[in-house]
Amino acid sequence: MTLYEQWKDIAYVERTQEEYDAFWSDYLAKEQKNYEHILENKDEKISGTFAELAELFNMDLVTFAGFLDGINTSLVNTLDLDSLTEESPLDLAIDMEKLYYNMLDAKADWLYTLPQWDTILTEQKRKEIKKSYNQTKIVVKGKKIGRNEPCPCGSGKKYKQCCLNKQ
């Protein structure tokens, strides 16, 4: 069983609400420390073997696989999580704008409000990313076709006598 499969088995097992809250609060505290480190050392190249990086971030191997699952979509080159082993070489080049966007999408306010973002993205850039994110959540309905209007299929008939009946 791969490290990532072990993570999924641990993270998504059925538990009581109390156990669930305890597990995730412990994990999220570790995750926040990792992001604080990453943001504080934004110019530092994060590379090494899977085991070395897990040790750098003070996480066990399985929990680190879970962290990589969360950050994977923010990486310049995504990882094949199922193929990772302790000896797998990793180069975590992070797209900071994408990371901020993904934190918004995950509704992780404890992460996208970290003060370390101030030195990475300007307030204006963060507002632009937030605006872009908000626009993806707006539902846009198409123009409603009236029953007596010409049918959009181009038949020349009224909509009610043509395509409205085919729906």
How many other CB atoms are found less than 10 A from the CB of residue 79?
19
pLDDT in tens, 98-110: 999 999 999 999 9
pTM: 0.80
pLDDT in tens, 1-59: 999 999 999 999 999 999 999 999 999 999 999 999 999 999 899 999 999 999 999 99
Three-state SS at 114: coil
